[in-house]
Amino acid sequence: MALMLTTSDVAVLVARMNIRRTLDLLSRYIQDDFVRWESFEKIARLASHSTVGVIELMPTSDADRYSFKFVNGHPSNPSHGLPTVMAFGALAEVSTGRPLLLSELTLTTALRTAATSVMAARVLARKEAHTMALIGNGAQSEFQALAFHHLLGIDTLRIYDIDPEASHKLKQNLAGVQGLDVQLARSTQDAVAGVDIITTVTADKTNALILTPDMVQPGVHVNAVGGDCPGKTELHADILSGATTFVEFEPQSRIEGEIQQMPSTYAVIPLWEVLTGRRPGRRSDAEITIFDSVGFALEDFSALRFLWDQARALQIGREFELVPQAGNPKDLFGAMRHLSADTTAGMEKAALACPHEA
């Protein structure tokens, strides 16, 4: 039997653990797997692009577990009453191929993206960082804000979005967070003035100039989250020229990240090499660092592993028969006939117990 987790199940799991513990533990799962980087099979995600969005498949595996995520990105979805990003995924045994977990990953993707951002910022931002600008106040903004507040000590957050309602939504949702001062900014330039960290998480599927060089001061860490597909960026190329850039999986980032604007000779540092101590992270207080975050399948592997462990410990979710469980494993036709007979008998029994009124 496989375990299924719905969006309601994941929401309950987070509520029972609380958001701070969830983000903290999830970031540690991700870091543990990044440290094991060389034990994973890695490929860039498989993407199907249209004029209005993208649908992607993100697989990876180690010697024991295989995972994949199905995810979309459609910026116009909110006008249709749908999230911009929707996802689900699975975790399976490598030794048998047996599916272990089928889970929603829409909520979980927002959680793991924020947890990954903080994991990177721990080694890339200045140690005394306490202020952050958050540009783009949509569906992922609360998760980024809470992760940086609870896990990195950010106490002042300046927020800006071209849609004022999005910023007011964010401010309202964070109103009860103790020790976090949320300030509405008049513009991107107003939001980023003098801050320690800049997080960009916008949704437009275009090459945009959310940040220009005059907005990024020495010592700033830029957490660039929104640029995540070909033709979609947020930073002026001259910012990259004057900064040290860190990436997840370089072959994917060259296609989808901020560095798609740069020549192939532009040097980047894989984040896993910093986390394992092979390469330095931030080297001085004046250095500008960029985490060119496009999202990589290993983070979803970690998230699914986290859900699998925590859901079983908290007894959340339900088991269901995703593959046949009984009978001769070589007699699939017989299994189908047996399962059909059992289901029909159950329906007939239920009908007898609750007959329709004449």
Active site residues: 228
Are the C-beta atoms of residues 219 and 234 closer than 8 Å to each other? no
Cα 245 to Cα 49, 169, 214, 267, 292: the distances in Å are: 26, 32, 18, 8, 7
Are the C-beta atoms of residues 218 and 151 closer than 8 Å to each other? no
Which amino acid type is present at position 233?
T
Please name which of 172, 191, 180, 177 lies closest in space to residue 155, comparing C-alpha atoms.
180
**Cα–Cα distance for residue pair 254/48, rounded to 1 Å:** 17
From start to end of the chain, where are the E strands?
2-5, 46-49, 54-61, 65-73, 87-93, 99-104, 131-135, 156-160, 181-184, 197-200, 207-211, 221-224, 233-235, 244-247, 269-270, 289-292, 318-320
Token pair of 266, please? 């532009």
**Cα–Cα distance for residue pair 99/322, rounded to 1 Å:** 8
Give the CA radius of gyration of the chain.
23
Token pair of 125, please? 């931002």
Are the C-beta atoms of residues 244 and 290 closer than 8 Å to each other? yes
Instruction: Give the ranges where 94-249 is alpha helix by DSSP (H).
Output: 106-124, 141-152, 164-173, 188-192, 237-241
Q: Map tokens 């189908």 to a residue.
A: 336
Cβ neighbours, 10 Å, residue 174: 18
- Residue 5 backbone class (left: φ over 0; alpha: ψ -120 to 50; beta: rest): beta
